[in-house]
Amino acid sequence: MTPTRYAFVKAGWHADIVDRALEGFQQLVPAEQIDVFDVPGAFEMPLLSRDLAASGRYGAVIAAALVVDGGIYRHDFVAQAVVDGLMRAGMDTGVPVLSVSLTPHHYQETEHHQQIYRAHFVEKGREAARAALMIGKTRAALAA
C-alpha cells in the first residue's frame, strides 16, 4: 500500500518565493499529511530527497527551489544537476520525486518579478500536488 504522507523539501535561497510552492501544494493535500524539510539551497535537495524516498514513509517527495543566475556560477549547471539528481532519486527508490525547481531565463529582484514568481510557485505547487495524487491513484489501481 502506498503511504499517504508526502515529503516536501524546500531550498532556502529565495524562500519568500519558494515557500509559495508549499502553499499551493497544501491547497490540494492537507497539511497534516505533509512533512516539510528545509535545505540551504537547490544543490542539497537530491540527496535528502533520495533519503526521504528510501525511508518508505512517503508516497512522493516534492522538491522546490528557484535557481537564478547570480553572476558568479553557472546556474544552468546547478539546475541540470539538481533535476538529474531528483530524477535519479526517484528511479533508484521507486518513489516519485517531483521537481518544482525552476530556472528562469530572466529574473531580477524587483517587486514585479517577485510577484510573478510567487504566484507561479503557488501554481507549480498545485501542479505537484495533482501529480503526486494522480501517481498514487494510478499505482494503487495497478496494485489491485
Is residue 52 annotated as involved in ligand binding?
A: no
The residues carrying an active-site annotation are 74
- HEC letters along 19-87: HHHHHHHHCCCCHHHEEEEEECCHHHHHHHHHHHHHCCCCCEEEEEEECCCCCCCCHHHHHHHHHHHHH
Is residue 99 annotated as involved in ligand binding?
A: yes
Is residue 43 annotated as involved in ligand binding?
A: yes
Is residue 13 annotated as involved in ligand binding?
A: yes
Is residue 67 annotated as involved in ligand binding?
A: yes
Is residue 49 annotated as involved in ligand binding?
A: no
Is residue 42 annotated as involved in ligand binding?
A: yes
Is residue 55 annotated as involved in ligand binding?
A: no
b/e 59-93 (16+ beta carbons within 10 angstroms → b)? bbbbbbbbbbbeeeeebeebbeebbebbeebbeeb
Binding-site residues for (2S)-2-hydroxy-3-oxobutyl phosphate: 113
Binding-site residues: 13, 42-44, 66-68, 99, 113
Binding-site residues for 5-amino-6-(D-ribitylamino)uracil: 13, 42-44, 66-68, 99
